[in-house]
Amino acid sequence: MAGPTASGKSARAVELAREHNGVVINADSMAVYRDLAILSARPSPEEMGEAPHLLFGHVGAECNYSVGLWLADARAALIEAERMEKLPIFVGGTGMYFKALLHGLSDIPAVPPEVRARVRALAQNVAPAELHARLCARDPGTAAKLRPSDPQRILRALEIFEATGAPLASFHGAREGALLDAGQCQCLFLAPEREKLYARIDARFDRMMAQGALEEVRRLLARSLDPALPAMRAVGVPGLMAYLRGEMSIEAAVEKGKRDSRQYAKRQFTFARTQLPEFPPVAA
């Protein structure tokens, strides 16, 4: 079950798990981080107590977690679900996870650790726009498809080019690693009416603040992690970090978190419409 942020996926997944003897398996790229229990809207302990949950909060923020790593973890989760004799129910908002689950990943060569370290070192304290310009000079085709504000994917493309001398797009032919057959799954995309969803997003961010989101980000900031890591770019984190560094007011940081959440939801709808034809939209 896919869907945009704040669409009610977690509660619906728990209901399905209770009705069908299921286990809920996370397919959200931020809910994997143990450091982001609040800002990733990870299911509450009460929800997790109503049905088994897998792949929630099992990764540290220092990890450069990827779709490939998640796919390997999803394979292990399916084996665990079979051992438990429970129906696997994948739930989350990361479209690339669902696409990989059904279609596998492009057969991209592994980047040697020394190459990754070299590229990351050269990217330290470099603005995403400048990284994007570097990629434009080396791999303009891939750069044209990436947002200049997406340092993680830009760095990935730079690493591939540095390691192979070839553009990332040249490896997008053959795919491997699909774990499920869409024809044997029930796929759906929760699609609330937009204005209703945006109101939910705003209200939920206020709840997150009341639940301790600022302290969660304060602990993350204290770790001095690479700002290009996925966890450091989770929705809500950049604005609250800017507040903690004295760069904006708390009101502006909260408004940025809400605005970024709404923009993320728009991208989730677009991805589902263009990349996940197996997932029909259903009202929520």
CATH of domain 113-172: 1.10.20.140
Q: Return residue ranges of the chain for CATH 1.10.20.140.
A: 113-172
> Which tens digit of pLDDT belongs to each residue from 253-262?
999 999 999 9
pTM of the predicted structure, to 2 decimals: 0.83
Residues 6+ away with beta carbon under 8 Å from 187:
1, 2, 98, 276, 278, 279, 280
Q: Is the pLDDT of residue 173 over 90?
A: no
DSSP assigned state of 212: T
Rounded Cα gap, residues 277 and 107, in angstroms: 22
Exposure on the CB side of residue 231, measured as CA atoms within 13 A: 26
Q: Return residue ranges of the chain for CATH 3.40.50.300.
A: 9-106+176-282
Instruction: Count Cβ atoms within 10 A of the Cβ of residue 35 and give its class: 0-12 exposed, 13-18 middle, 19 or more buried.
Output: buried
Q: Which amino acid type is present at position 12? A: R
CATH of domain 9-106+176-282: 3.40.50.300
Residues 6+ away with beta carbon under 8 Å from 82:
none
Tell me what the mean pLDDT of segment 6-35 comes to: 97
Residues 6+ away with beta carbon under 8 Å from 278:
102, 182, 185, 187
- pLDDT band, very low/low/confident/very high, at 86 (cuts 50, 70, 90): very high
Q: Is the pLDDT of residue 170 over 80?
A: no
Instruction: Count Cβ atoms within 10 A of the Cβ of residue 118 and give its class: 0-12 exposed, 13-18 middle, 19 or more buried.
Output: middle
Instruction: Report CA torsion sign: 207, 250, 60, 69.
Output: positive
Q: Is the pLDDT of residue 65 over 80?
A: yes
> Which tens digit of pLDDT belongs to each residue from 100-123?
999 998 777 778 888 888 988 888
